[in-house]
Amino acid sequence: MKKVYVIGTGGTISSAGREGSTTNYTNGVFDVAALIEGVPGIKDLADICGEQIINISSEDMTVKDMLAVARRIDELASDDSVSGFVVTHGTNTMEETAFFLDLAVSTEKPIVITGSMRPATAAGADGAMNLYESVALAAHPSAAGRGVMAVMGDRIFDAAFLHKSNAFRVDAFTGGDAGCIGYMQDDVPFFLQRSELPHTARSGFSAGGLTGLPKVETVLFYVDADPRILTAAAEGADGLVLAGAGGGFAGRAWEPVLKETAGKIPVIRASRTMDGVVTRDDYDTRVGTVPGYALDPLKARILLSFALTKTRDHGAIEDIFKKYSGL
């Protein structure tokens, strides 16, 4: 039997609330051992080892926590008897940890992140099936070498395009234009496509030697947004991501402040639409910003943090963004 490690970090999947209801629940009630015990048939899929690293609401995740998960996976992956990994996680920031692990972890063994939209005490809770399918995927030979994947609601998503796009429905995740990379039906993965992007062992980054990451902030542009938001966010930051309108743009009132900021720290232009590509524009030449290409603002923030561990050169940073955008 394949050995799969389930690493618990918390989230709704580990929560309990009023019987039947989906709201006002408490995170971190069930540990990973209890989660595994609660899933019918899961022990027939693999030899499962549970390990609780933290048990928190995912809005409280920190880079330190993400690094701890990445390091533990790398450590366990060097054991030949371990086939794959499942990380249980709150759905609210799952896309950030998924992409962080996609860059930081250095194994080709399958890594699947999952969670639930409903607490275990809700009528129609979704956590058990998500965990069942995730363990099955992590144990499956065809899942290796695909980078970090998420399994939510019978769909498999690539970490680079995973996005929570709904606040409460069970079917809350999307892969944007990239769609899902496959389906899970019980213990069977149906792979529809393979990511072209560098990831895990080929990402060019690793968790080894890192104690933290450079500080990168994100600012959202909207009509009449006060440019002082940008100034405040840039204060003490090593880099900045602009979640701009449409193709990643901010209005004229922001241009002088953007230019001044981009003269001090790298500023990535990404799109608040969370989809499509932001490519080099005259705007970048004028203002000094760097286009984020296929990365949405959340992923751009993480990629810029890692990129800044290697370089502060705008051209080199742009090349890294191109590489992560299939160029």
What residues make contact with ligand DGL under the rule CB under 6 A? Answer: 10-12, 27, 57-58, 90-93, 115, 117
With respect to ligand DGL, which residue has the nearer C-beta, 100 or 293? 100
Q: Which is nearer to ligand DGL, 93 or 203 (CB)?
A: 93
| CA atoms within a 13 Å half-sphere pointing along the CA-CB vector of 310 | 14
- Tell the smallest beta-carbon distance from residue 118 to ligand DGL (Å): 8
Residue with tokens 């402040």: 257
Instruction: State in angstroms the smallest separation of the CB of 82 from ligand DGL.
Output: 26
User: In the complex, what is the shortest distance from the CB of residue 58 to ligand DGL, in angstroms, rounded to a whole number?
Assistant: 3
- In sequence order, what DSSP letters do the residues of 167-203 get, joined into one string? SS-SS-EE-GGG--SEEEETTEEEE-----S--GGGS
Q: Which two tokens stand for residue 282?
A: 């005259």
Crossing angle, helix 94-104 and helix 297-307, to 10 degrees?
30
How many C-beta neighbours within 10 Å does residue 66 have? 21
Residues annotated as catalytic (active site), given as ranges? 12
Least Å from the CB of residue 59 to ligand DGL: 6
Comparing CB distances to ligand DGL, the nearer of 57 and 325 is 57
CB of 212 to ligand DGL, least distance (A): 22
Nearer to ligand DGL, 123 or 223 (CB): 123
User: What one-letter code names the amino acid at 80?
Assistant: D
Q: Which two tokens stand for residue 87?
A: 């990380």
DSSP, collapsed to helix, strand or coil, labels residue 155 as: strand
Q: Which residue is nearest to ligand DGL (CB)?
A: 90
E-state strands within the chain: 3-10, 47-56, 82-88, 111-114, 148-152, 155-158, 163-164, 173-174, 182-185, 188-191, 216-220, 239-244, 267-271, 290-291
